[in-house]
Structure 1
Amino acid sequence: MVDQIKAADEAQEPEERTLRRNLTNRHIQLIAIGGAIGTGLFMGSGKTISLAGPSIIFVYMIIGFMLFFVMRAMGELLLSNLEYKSFSDFAADLLGPWAGYFTGWTYWFCWVVTGMADVVAIAAYAQFWFPGLSDWVVALAVVVLLLTLNLATVKLFGEMEFWFAMIKIVAIVALIVVGLVMVLMHFTSPGGVQASFTHLWNDGGWFPKGISGFFAGFQIAVFAFVGIELVGTTAAETKDPEKSLPRAINSIPIRIIMFYVFALIVIMSVTPWGSVVASKSPFVELFVLAGLPAAASIINFVVLTSAASSANSGVFSTSRMLYGLAQDGAAPRSFGRLSRRAVPATGLSFSCLCLLGGVVLVYLIPDVITVFTMVTTVSAILFMFVWTIILCSWLVYRRQRPELHEKSIYKMPLGRLMCWVCMAFFVFVLALLTLEDDTRQALLVTPLWFIVLGACWLVIGKKRLAGARH
């Protein structure tokens, strides 16, 4: 297959060997929404509600507020030079080759780790309908399917993400509407509890678990936002990025309020927060209360497509990041080759091969939840590193290229101040991760990745980058 790709590449004209701008505004808007709605909202919200009570609403709002400024910084940088393919490109340009190398490979690793967790999750969700089917068969089938679809064209990726995101949106809107109707009709549960907005403040106030419960919510809630920067990896394949990217980024606050805040308000109004079971999806519980017998099947389907969407995004973004790294000489040259359909096929195949680690996990570890928590914590810590690099790049850009900032039609609001506020916030979240045993272990393991990367940079990276310049 690799030989066929090489032959196809040699048959191309040099000017055709570039990523094509085939993603439309419709695709970009839904990719951005899909990135902002993680699987954690469907499955993890029960745990966050039980930890923090109604104050979890403020947790999601604070995280969303901070990440909006990270996305604004990324948007201004990407639009300042349309040659940038992703944030690893502007990191390399503004901070130095090391930053592009560390950012690119870390982002690749983030999505491979997240993708492996998603593959394991999909295998578990599939058991709902196919209890007799082996987990590893499902996991393998998912990886093969993702590879096949992504090898076709970037437009097909856009279509898949469009419909995956649409399913998530419909499910959340349905939950909000059903919940509101139950509150307005004063629905009474079998346990004799009447649906009412007063549950938000009557059962111990907004902070029933105190400040410690409020802080505990951050540890899990931050995982739900992993992937919000995904729109930044589509920059080189977006039609009319000057319009599409700002529109997608500007709608982030509305999305956070609509999909996270409203959904949580409705859930805790119908079911008092003290009655929410941490291990169950409150989405399923609400639909069951509403008398929808197929609730479990429907939400299982939604969560399965949400995990598939995340894995699909991971395959796309990792292959584009490898393509950019190869162009800069920081990854094997073969990752920088495009197929006749302008897809980085070798990078795609490599990323999917790494996703097969999820199949191995199904074999080796019986307690998937423990591994899932540790894996997602490592992923979230690494994502915070990437978000910090974006902010550092903006600070350097603001200092070194003030003329570009002046000309920018999409300036980051409260630029320097919010960069430092956001970075201080990430340090605060890291400090919170030391409070629980499982997240503390992940925090201690994460530096190993940077040690490995640093060693590779000293041995291989500098030589490759020197070769790329000559």
Structure 2
Amino acid sequence: MENEERNRKLSGALKSRHIVMLSLGGAIGSGLFLGSASAIVAAGPAVLLSYLLAGLALYVVMYGVGRMVVHGDSQSREAGMSGIIKPYVGGRWAHFTDWVYWATWMAVLIAEEAGVSTFLAMLFPGVPLWVYALIVAVLGTAINLYSVKAFGETEYWLAFVKIFVIILLIVVGLVLLATNVFHMGLGPSLGHMTQETRFIPHGIGGILSSLLIVIFSFGGSELAAVTVAETENPRETIPKAIRGILFRIISFYVVPIFLFLELLPWKQVSEGTASPFALIFEKIGIPYADKIILVVIIVAIFSAVNSAIYATSRSLYSRVQHAENGLGKSLGKLSKKQVPTRAIMVSAAVLFLGVILSAIFGDGFWQFVAGSISFTITIVWIMLLIASLMMYFKRKETANGFLRMVTVLVLIALVVVLVSQVLMNPWSLSVFALLICLLSFFSYRQTK
């Protein structure tokens, strides 16, 4: 009976609309609403280049993931990324990627949970942070434990709210920009972001520094690669979701930040700014604009927490589902609804640790965790690119010469970014990321 329970596969209940919203739910969180302020401070108007470059790199990475899903073994629906990249990079490196990605999302859980608790305290002051953390932890865990369909539906509507507000922000920004053009003329209006400074005020170093936050912001879009085992018809659904990534990056990141830079002096933004987008709503006199933005930020970050619980539990389950004894066997069990409940409980438990750490280290803790996530996300993207490149050269029919060349160029660029992250940021971040990588690599044990 126990073997029968353990051999059940994960539920294939996620549909195309869920996968699209999942990739948005992971990508639109504190990285957009909280991290964008730090990115603007680091690079000035040139932050637009950071978002565009990172968006193009992400698209190439995820295009390769889509190709691997389409040309992979249709009978193999192993959870996590390992099921996709294992045929090309081998068991050890697939194991390495899964564990690095799991560690990344565990850090995301801590960062996003610290963010949502902080913003809830701003909206309803006087309540201890641990109370908000408890609410977030219980609610997110309960949604994921109930069923994958409940998780997908919840994430779908949370992402819908975020998208609606961003579209509203874009409309408001365009109206304000059109009003400025009408009164001031086209040239002065569209040249606002460079009136008081150069387009790249802090040089290439500023762009590289902002990439640390921008890559963190985009982390989550690759979540589609984890959902293969629980997706209906993944060969059609996942590539369809991936094709819209570049459009979503431009729509939800580049356009709103461009409008902000054109409408308001970017130097008004400081590291302590809750969200630069609240300033746009305040400019047109919307009552309680700061409170409205706070609510949206809370929804956005809780959505990212929801996605992080899913990603960590599935990545953990993918590494233990074939264990024959011990803790791995226990964590690999599924519920009657084909949900890895014990893996979810282990992953969600880190939420409580996050509140303690954020209370001890304050605002600097979010910056530290975001920086460490950027390291590991870059490593995961590099591994996905290497796997797709190996497929392109191994199976000639999967890619033409242009795609291979572009993929190689993006791989080189990501390696340069990774080296820059190591050189330009505190040594503690590098040591933290190195420990994660070493543990992930040397913990591999070949399955008999």
The TM-score with structure 2 as length reference comes to 0.91
Call closer, same or farther: CA 1:335–1:413 in 2, change over 3 Å. farther
Please name the residue that 1:422 is paired with: 410
Distance, in Å, in 1 between the alignment partners of 2:265 and 2:123 is: 31
1:447 paired to 2:434: yes
Please name the residue that 1:30 is paired with: 21
2:29–2:303 CA contact under 8 A, matched in 1: no
Distance, in Å, in 2 between the alignment partners of 1:90 and 1:100 is: 9
1:161 paired to 2:155: yes
Structure 1: which amino acid aligns with 2:370? T
Match of 1:173 among 167, 175, 178: 167
1:119–1:139 CA contact under 8 A, matched in 2: yes
- Residue 62 of structure 1, CA deviation: 0.7
Call closer, same or farther: CA 1:323–1:215 in 2, change over 3 Å. closer
Please name the residue that 1:260 is paired with: 253
Structure 1: which amino acid aligns with 2:25? G
- Residue 305 of structure 1, CA deviation: 1.5
Structure 2: which amino acid aligns with 1:27? H
1:136–1:363 CA contact under 8 A, matched in 2: no
Please name the residue that 1:76 is paired with: 67
Distance, in Å, in 2 between the alignment partners of 1:242 and 1:89 is: 14
Q: Equivalences for 1:270-309 in 2 at 5 Å?
A: 270-280=263-273, 281-309=275-303
Distance, in Å, in 2 between the alignment partners of 1:109 and 1:347 is: 14
1:136–1:362 CA contact under 8 A, matched in 2: no
Call closer, same or farther: CA 1:49–1:354 in 2, change over 3 Å. closer
- The alignment's C-alpha RMSD in Å is 2.6
Please name the residue that 1:241 is paired with: 234
Call closer, same or farther: CA 1:413–1:197 in 2, change over 3 Å. farther
Distance, in Å, in 2 between the alignment partners of 1:26 and 1:285 is: 32
1:48–1:278 CA contact under 8 A, matched in 2: no
- Residue 207 of structure 1, CA deviation: 2.3
Q: Once the two structures are superposed, what CA deviation does each residue of 1:210-264 show, in whole Å capped at 9, x if it has no partner?
A: 3333333222222111111011111111122222212211111111111111101
1:182–1:195 CA contact under 8 A, matched in 2: no
Structure 2: which amino acid aligns with 1:340? K
Call closer, same or farther: CA 1:273–1:21 in 2, change over 3 Å. same
- Residue 24 of structure 1, CA deviation: 1.3
Aligned residues: 439
Distance, in Å, in 2 between the alignment partners of 1:453 and 1:48 is: 30
Of stretches 241-250 and 55-64 in structure 1, the one that deviates more from structure 2 is: 241-250
Distance, in Å, in 2 between the alignment partners of 1:437 and 1:311 is: 26
SS of match in other structure, 2:180: coil
SS of match in other structure, 2:13: coil
- Residue 10 of structure 1, CA deviation: 4.1
1:313 paired to 2:304: no
- Residue 205 of structure 1, CA deviation: 4.1
Q: Equivalences for 1:310-389 in 2 at 5 Å?
A: 310-329=304-323, 332-365=328-361, 367=362, 369-389=363-383
Distance, in Å, in 2 between the alignment partners of 1:108 and 1:434 is: 21
Distance, in Å, in 1 between the alignment partners of 2:371 and 2:229 is: 29
Structure 1: which amino acid aligns with 2:11? R
Q: Equivalences for 1:204-219 in 2 at 5 Å?
A: 204-219=197-212
Structure 1: which amino acid aligns with 2:412? A
1:98 paired to 2:92: yes
Q: Equivalences for 1:136-155 in 2 at 5 Å?
A: 136-155=130-149
Match of 2:48 among 26, 50, 57: 57
Call closer, same or farther: CA 1:242–1:449 in 2, change over 3 Å. closer
2:43–2:210 CA contact under 8 A, matched in 1: yes
Distance, in Å, in 2 between the alignment partners of 1:53 and 1:218 is: 12
Q: Equivalences for 1:190-229 in 2 at 5 Å?
A: 196-229=189-222
Gaps of 5+ in 1: 1-8, 189-193
Distance, in Å, in 1 between the alignment partners of 2:194 and 2:423 is: 27
Distance, in Å, in 1 between the alignment partners of 2:97 and 2:29 is: 22
Call closer, same or farther: CA 1:328–1:399 in 2, change over 3 Å. farther
2:93–2:441 CA contact under 8 A, matched in 1: no
- Residue 435 of structure 1, CA deviation: 5.4
Distance, in Å, in 1 between the alignment partners of 2:267 and 2:124 is: 34
- Residue 454 of structure 1, CA deviation: 4.3
Distance, in Å, in 1 between the alignment partners of 2:89 and 2:204 is: 38
Distance, in Å, in 1 between the alignment partners of 2:34 and 2:181 is: 24
- Residue 21 of structure 1, CA deviation: 1.4
Please name the residue that 2:262 is paired with: 269
2:133–2:351 CA contact under 8 A, matched in 1: no
2:44–2:266 CA contact under 8 A, matched in 1: yes
Q: Once the two structures are superposed, what CA deviation does each residue of 1:96-138 show, in whole Å capped at 9, x if it has no partner?
A: 2211221121111111111011111111111123322211121
Call closer, same or farther: CA 1:243–1:176 in 2, change over 3 Å. same
Please name the residue that 1:6 is paired with: none
SS of match in other structure, 1:446: helix
2:14–2:149 CA contact under 8 A, matched in 1: yes
Structure 2: which amino acid aligns with 1:68? Y
1:195–1:271 CA contact under 8 A, matched in 2: no
Distance, in Å, in 1 between the alignment partners of 2:322 and 2:413 is: 32
Distance, in Å, in 2 between the alignment partners of 1:223 and 1:183 is: 29
Distance, in Å, in 2 between the alignment partners of 1:304 and 1:412 is: 44
Match of 2:112 among 106, 118, 133: 118
Gaps of 5+ in 2: none
- Residue 417 of structure 1, CA deviation: 2.1
Distance, in Å, in 1 between the alignment partners of 2:433 and 2:149 is: 35
Please name the residue that 1:21 is paired with: 12
Distance, in Å, in 2 between the alignment partners of 1:362 and 1:203 is: 37
